[in-house]
Amino acid sequence: MNTAISALTSDEQLKSLVREKYREIVKQDRDTNASSCCGAGGCSTEVTTIMSEDYTSLEGYEPGADLGLGCGLPTQFAIIKPGDTVIDLGSGAGNDCFIARAATGASGKVIGIDFTEEMIEKARANAARLGFNNVEFRLGDIEHMPVGPSRADVIVSNCVLNLVPNKNAVFAEIFRVLKPGGHFSISDVVLAGNLPQALQTDAEMYAGCVAGAIQKEEYLQLIQNNGFQCIWVQKEKPIVIPRDILRNYLSKEETARFGSSESGIFSITVYAEKPAAALCACGGEC
């Protein structure tokens, strides 16, 4: 039976829901996770992935750290340079951190932050197995990062902010933690139009990276409101929820109506910079 969420569900209850779901996920293999809605489990037994992209060609890819939970390839777009300090928000088993490490090289530093103890344990075990001494994993909320100010050259995140109730607090923290002139590249899920009510209020859909998503325009406005410049959508792709998943939540008529509407779910990878004294790296006035 699906569990409902409502306007009365507190932020802490939502975070607890997500934490418990990801505790289940970390115990599963990638194929099991990928057969679910953004790895959240229980959505479909026929779908391989509906959001994640293929990491296997990227340098630093580690199969044992890939749980199939992402909705983009932020590290591919993050313009990471040798020697950079990179922070990954919602680092899971460490996949994006290990790819970031391949770009920073031995002179760089990568810090992964996750609020699920089991994910941190798995990521640390992966790093130890690989012999990486410049990749660190810290337990903590990304609304209150366990990192000092002006620490990171680059911040990445993959399909995580949609799971956080207070997205504005996350962007404020990203601004605090980035060095002046630093930048982020974040892949996330956003909306155009409205989701059917049954999808908006289902706990499985929240943990599955759908119900917690906000409008694309609102998402980009939050970035601007927190002082970022050079805001640039690097990639955008539609997310199509298969009908066998939708039928778990919607009637046949509602499924057809949603499929023919102008409403949509999208994965975007967005770049933005914390201002520095000089012009933004994208050139000209930002």
Query: 168-173: long-range contacts (C-beta < 8 A, 24 or more apart)?
Result: 168/222, 168/225, 168/226, 169/143, 169/144, 170/89, 170/142, 170/143, 171/222, 171/223, 171/225, 171/226, 171/228, 172/226, 173/142, 173/143, 173/144, 173/145
Whole-angstrom Cα distance, residue 271 to residue 269? Answer: 7
pLDDT value at residue 279: 46
This prediction has a pTM of 0.86
Q: What domains appear along the chain, each with residue ranges and CATH number? A: 11-273 (3.40.50.150)
pLDDT value at residue 41: 43
Whole-angstrom Cα distance, residue 76 to residue 74? Answer: 5
pLDDT value at residue 79: 97
pLDDT value at residue 42: 42
Q: Residues 80, 51: contact at Cβ < 8 Å?
A: no
DSSP secondary-structure letter at 2? P
Q: Residues 113, 146: contact at Cβ < 8 Å?
A: yes
pLDDT value at residue 48: 30
Element (H, E) at 266: strand 264-273
pLDDT value at residue 201: 67
CA distances to 41, 51, 61, 235, 271 from 196, in Å: 20, 19, 37, 26, 29
3-state secondary structure of 137: strand
Residues 81, 78, 162, 72, Cα dihedral to 10°: -120
Whole-angstrom Cα distance, residue 73 to residue 56? Answer: 11
Query: Which among 184, 174, 3, 15 has a CA at the least distance from the CA of 84?
Result: 184
- List CB contacts of 46: < 8 A, sequence separation 6 or more: 35, 242, 244
Per-block average pLDDT, block size 10, for the chain (286 residues)? 56 81 74 48 40 85 89 95 98 96 96 96 96 97 96 96 93 98 96 79 69 90 97 92 76 76 86 78 50
